[in-house]
Amino acid sequence: MLVHLQKPRPVAKYNITFTKGELNRILALYSYQVAKGQWRDYAIDFLKQMAIFSIFRHAHEQPLISILKIPANTAQGYVYELIVEKKRLSRSAELDLALEPLRKTLK
C-alpha cells in the first residue's frame, strides 16, 4: 500500500533567460564596441516577464541600448526587441533580425 504524506508542490515558474548562443551573439557586438571604446558596461536581468541585456556608456547612466527577450506566441516562443535610447528600433521572433539595425548603425 502506497501512502502520500505530502501534497505535490506546485511547479515553479522560472525566470526567462538568454541561451548561450544568444549571449554569444550579443556579446560579440558588445565586445567589438568595448574594443573601440564606445561602450563600458553591461547588465543582464532575468525576470519572470522578460530577460534584458542592457548596455551602458558609463555605469551610472541609463542604458544606452537594451535587448529584450519576451514570451510570445511564435514558433520559438519568444520575441526580441531592440531598444535604443528608449525607442524601439526593431521587434522580431529572430534575435539576429532584431539586432540588424544595431549592426547597421555600428558599421
The answer to whether residues 82 and 65 touch, using CB atoms and an 8 Å cutoff, is: yes
Q: Structure pTM?
A: 0.82
| Residue 50 clears pLDDT 60, i.e. is over it | yes
| Residue 52 clears pLDDT 90, i.e. is over it | yes
Q: What is the pLDDT of residue 69?
A: 96
Tens of pLDDT, residues 20-44: 999 999 999 999 999 998 899 999 9
The answer to whether residues 39 and 64 touch, using CB atoms and an 8 Å cutoff, is: yes
Q: What is the pLDDT of residue 24?
A: 96
Q: Which amino acid is at 85?
A: E
Strand partners, 46: 51
Q: Residue by residue, what is the 3-state secondary structure of 52-74?
A: EEEEECCCCCCCCEEEEEEECCC
Quote the mean pLDDT of the chain.
87
